[in-house]
Amino acid sequence: MTPTHPIYFSDLDQCVDALIDKVGKKVVIAGGFGRPIHIFNALYRRAVADPDIQLTIITGVSFSRPRGSSDLEKRFLEPFVDRVFGNLPELEYVEPYQRGKLPKNIEIVEVFLQAGTYLGNKHAQQNFVYSNFTHWLRDMIEQGCNVFGQMIARREIDGEPAYSMSQDAYALDILPRIQALREEGKQIAVVGQVNDELPFMYNDAIVPVDTYDFILDDPRFNHTLLGPPSTAVDITDYMIGLNASSLIPDGGTLQIGIGALGDAIAYACILRHERNQLYRDVLAESGLTDRFGEIIDRVGETGEFQQGIYGSTEMFADGFRHLINHGVLKRAVYDHVGLQRLVNEGRLAEGVTAQTLPLLVQEQLVSPRLTPEDVRFLIKYGIFQDRVVLADGVLCCGDGIEIEADLGNVAALEQINRHCLGQQLRGGMVLHAGFFLGPQAMYRQLREMPEEESRRICMTDIAYVNQLYGHEEIARLQRQKARFINTAIMVSLLGDACSDGLEDGRKISGVGGQYNFVAMAHALADGRSVLMCRSTRSKGGETTSNIVWNYGHTTIPAHLRDIVVTEYGVAMLRGQREKDVIARMLNIADSRFQPQLLEQAKSAGKIPDDYEIPAQYRNNTPERLERIVARLQPEGFFPAYPFGSDFTPEEKVLADVLQSLKAKMGSRRHLFKTLAGAVAASGEYPESAQPYLARMGLEQPEDFKHVAIQKLILAELHELGHI
C-alpha cells in the first residue's frame, strides 16, 4: 500500500514525531477495538501540551476500567479489575471525555458508545456518527481521517516477517480508501503497534508488510488485551436462547453477538447437540413446541447438528469459540464458487475419493488434460498432495512416480488417484468474522490454537461479512439457511425495533451491523432475521414492558420485520397483515401487560374490537419459566456462567449480593426492609461468611460506616441463602 517499506520504531516518541512530521499538526486518527493504545495516548499528551495540534480521535466504544461509584463497589471491583485487565493501559482521553473536560483542540468522534455511559455527555452525543458499522470505514474517511492505527500481530513465515491485522481485520476495507487518498496527493499514515499478546490470525488477516508506514515494535508495548469478562446468564436469557436455538437449521449459517444472550444461544445449541432429548423436553415443558411448533417446523429444527453450522458474523464473540469446541460450528465453506456449489449440492464431500477428479472434470472445474492452473487449484484445496509437480505434461508425485497428466486416460487416472490424491478438502472456513472481542480465556485459546485449526477461522473485512455486495455469488452459496440473530431493547406491536437509542435522540450505544444483517436476511432466499428482546425490564422495583405499542426511536423499521423472540416464544411477522402481526406479538408479551397493549391496538383500530388473546398465551409469567429452570439447575444445567467466569467463587456470590442491594436501593420499601435486617443482625458473623468479608476487606471494619456496610452484606448473604 505504501511506496516504501515501513519505518520501524522501538521508541514511542520517535514514532509519534515521524507521524506528525508526515501528516502535520491536524491529526485525525481512527482505530477500532484493537487500537494502538500507546500511540493514541502519546498523541493525546502531545495535543494537551501543544494547543496548535488539532487532534480528532475517531473510534468506537472508548472502554475504561470499571470503577465503583461507592466504597462498596470499589472494594469489590478493584482487585477483580487488576487481576483481569492486567497491564492493559488506560486510554488517557477517556477520563476527561467522560467528565466533559477535554481541551478545545481535542475531540472524540464515536460510532458506537459504551452502553448507557454517555447519555448525559454533550460532547459524546453531539459528535456521535450514526452509521452502520458496515459503512464506518467509509465514514472515517468522510470525517477526514489521515491516520489509521491498529494493534498487529507478528510471526515469521517461511523466514520472512508476517503481520496480521488479527482482531481488527474488519479494517481491511479502509486500505483501498487510504490508497485512493494517497493517489490524490494527501498525506496519510497507517501505523501498526505490535502486541505479542494478540493472537496471530491467518488468511485474509495477513497483510503485506508495506501496508504500514510506521511500525512500533518493542516488548515494552506488549499488554493485556481488552477482555470484557463474561456476564451472568439469567433464566430470561436462557429461555430466549433456547427459543432462538430452535430456529437454527442444521447445515445453516449463524450470526450472534456478545453478552448474556449470545452465550445463552451458544449454550442452547450445545445442549441441543449433546443432550438432545433433554433439550427437547425443556422446549416441550416451556410450551414452545406446542404453541410454536409450526414455526419451528417451517424455519428451524430441534435435532442434533449432524452437518453442523457455519458462522458468518461481524463479531467473533466467545460463544462461537464454544460452538467450535463442542463440534457444532463445523460446516466448512470454500472461497471457490464451483467447489462451494458442489458441496452445497452434496455431490462433493470433505473426504477426497476416486470420484473427486471425474466430478471436477464433469463440472469443468479442471481440464481433462491438467494445466499448471489446474494443479495449483487441486493443491490449494487439498485434492492433490503438496508435493505434486506438473512438468511438461507429466505429474511428478511425492513418491517419485511420474504419470501423464491426463484425467481422460483411464489408466493414468487410476495411477493419479493412487499416487497424487490428498485425504481431505483443504481451505474450508467454519467462521468468517470482522473482529473479535471476549474474555481472556478466548484470547488464550486463539494464541495456543494449532495453525491448522486457526486457519479454519477467517478474520476478514467488514464489507465481506456484513453484506452481499461485491461478492454476491460466493456469499449466497456460503450463507445458506442463514439465521442472523440480534438483540433489541424494545419491539413495538407492529414489529419495529429499538436497539440503540432513546426517543429524545440520545444514543445508548450504536446500530453496529444490525441493520445490514436484517436487510441481508431479507435478500437471501432462505435467510431469516431474528430479533431477541427481553419482554420486560425492571428498575427501582418497577417492572415495565419492552413490548410496546410504539416508541419514538426506531433502529429496525417495521417494513423489515421478520422474527421476534422473547422468553415466552416466537413471533413470525414477515409478510403478515398488521392485525396478525399485533396478535403474534401479544402472544409473546408478558401477560401482566397484555391487556393494556391489546387495548392500545384496539384504540388505534389496528385489531378487531372483539379480538381476545387465546388462553394458551395468557400464562406468560416469569414464575412459570423459573420453575422449569429451577428443576434442572441442581443437576448442573443452566448455570449462571455457562462457559466459566473470571470471577472467583466468592466474587460470583458477591456480585449477586451487590446487584441485589443496588436494585433494593432504588425502592424505598425494599431499602427500609434491608436496612432493618442489617441493623437487627448480631455482632458476630458465621464462619461461612468469612471468605466473603475477607474478599471485601470487611472482616474487621474500622469505623461505623464500614460496620454498617458489613452488616448490609451479611444481611443480603443470609437472605440469598449463601450463609
Query: In sequence order, what DSSP letters do the residues of 217-255 get, joined into one string?
Result: --GGG--PPP-PPPPP--HHHHHHHHHHHTT--TT-EEE
Query: Is residue 38 in a domain?
Result: yes
Please indicate, yes or no, if residue 294 is contained in any of the structural domains: no
Sign of CA dihedral 641, 647, 648, 650: negative
Which DSSP state fits 172? Answer: G
Which of the two residues, 680 and 402, has the higher pLDDT score?
402
Q: Is residue 629 part of a domain?
A: no
* Cα 170 from Cα 372, distance rounded (Å): 33
* Assigned domain for 640 exists: no
Q: Is the pLDDT of residue 190 over 80?
A: yes
For residues 328 and 343, membership in a common domain is answered with no
Note whether 693 and 713 are within 8 A (CB).
Answer: yes
Band of residue 16 on the pLDDT scale cut at 50, 70, 90: very high
* Whether pLDDT at 25 is above 90: yes
What is the C-alpha to C-alpha distance for residues 571 and 258, in angstroms, rounded to an integer? 23
Residue 668 in this model has a pLDDT that exceeds 70: no
pLDDT, residue 675, reads 53
CA of residue 299 relative to chain centroid, distance: 23
Average pLDDT over residues 464-493: 97
In angstroms, the CA 592 to CA 295 distance is 25
pLDDT given for residue 35 in this prediction: 93
* Same-domain check for residues 122 and 188: yes
Amino acid at the residue 98:
Q
**DSSP states of 364-419 as a string?**
TSS-SB--HHHHHHHHHTTSB-TT-EEETTEEE-TTS-EEE-BTTSHHHHHHHHHH
Determine contact, residues 570/243, Cβ cutoff 8 Å.
Answer: yes
The pLDDT assigned to 438 comes to 94
Pick from 24-28, 35-39, 633-637: least confident? 633-637
Least reliable range by pLDDT among 65-79, 154-168, 387-401, 595-609? 65-79
Q: Is 656 exposed, middle or buried (0-12, 13-18, 19+ CB in 10 A)?
A: middle
> Looking at 419, 440, 471, which one is the last position of a domain?
419
Residue 679 has pLDDT above 60, yes or no: no
Residue 243 inside a domain? The answer is no
CATH number, domain of 583, equals: 3.40.1080.20
Look at residue 681 in the predicted model and tell me its pLDDT: 55
Q: What is the mean pLDDT of residues 206-224?
A: 96
24 and 128 housed in the same domain: yes
- Predicted pLDDT at 702: 83
Q: Name the residue range of residue 669's domain.
A: 649-719
Mean pLDDT of 659-671: 66
> pLDDT per residue over 701-723, tens digit each?
888 888 888 988 998 898 888 98
Total domains, the chain: 4
Q: Across residues 653-660, what is the average pLDDT?
A: 89
pLDDT at 682: 54
Look at residue 519 and tell me whether its pLDDT is greater than 70: yes
Residue 677 has pLDDT above 60, yes or no: no
On whether residue 240 sits in a domain, the answer given is: no
Whether 63 and 171 map to the same domain: the answer is yes
Q: Please list, in sequence order, all residues whose beta carbon lies within 8 angstroms of the beta carbon of residue 720, skipping any fewer than 6 positions away.
A: 653, 656, 657, 660
Residues 596 and 532 in one domain: yes
> Any bridge partners for residue 569, and if so which?
566
| Same domain (yes/no): 445, 321 | yes
For the segment 675-687, the average pLDDT, to the nearest whole number, is: 63
Domain C-terminal end among 419, 452, 477: 419
Q: What is the mean pLDDT of residues 143-164?
A: 95
The whole-number pLDDT of residue 676 equals 54
Q: Is the pLDDT of residue 338 over 50?
A: yes
Q: Can you list the positions of beta strands (E) in 304-370?
A: 310-316
Domain boundary among 419, 451, 472: 419
Does residue 66 sit in the same domain as residue 133?
Answer: yes
Domain with 30 in it: what CATH number? Answer: 3.40.1080.10
The SS3 of residue 481 is coil
Task: Check whether 517 has a pLDDT greater than 50.
Answer: yes
Q: List for the chain the helix, strand, coil content (%; round to 5).
A: 45, 15, 40
Residue 344, class by beta-carbon neighbours within 10 Å (0-12 exposed, 13-18 middle, 19+ buried)?
middle
Residue (of 326, 338, 331) closest to 252 by Cα position:
331
Most confident stretch, 112-126, 389-403, 547-561: 547-561
Report pLDDT for 1. Answer: 46
Question: Do 589 and 654 belong together in one domain?
Answer: no
Residue 416: pLDDT over 60: yes
Q: In this structure, are strands 160-164 and 206-207 parallel, antiparallel, or unpaired? A: antiparallel
Same-domain status, 327 and 369: no
User: Do 96 and 69 fall within a single domain?
Assistant: yes
Alpha-carbon distance of 576 to 566, in angstroms, equals 19
Compute the average pLDDT of residues 440-466.
96
Q: Are residues 38 and 111 in the same domain?
A: yes
Average pLDDT, rounded, for the chain? 94
Position 4 pLDDT exceeds 70: no
Tell me phi and psi for residue 429, to 5 degrees: -110, 135
| Residue 328 DSSP class | S
Instruction: Write the pLDDT tens digit of every residue in 596-629.
Output: 999 999 999 999 999 999 999 999 999 999 999 8
Task: Summarize the confidence of residues 577-594 as an average pLDDT.
Answer: 98
Three-state SS at 433: strand
State the burial class of residue 719 (Cβ atoms within 10 Å of its Cβ: 0-12, 13-18, 19+).
Answer: middle
| pLDDT given for residue 683 in this prediction | 61
**Residue 594 and residue 538 share a domain:** yes
Residue 210 resides in a domain: yes
The answer as to whether 270 is a domain residue is no
**3-state secondary structure (DSSP) of residue 458:** strand
pLDDT at residue 665, rounded to an integer: 67
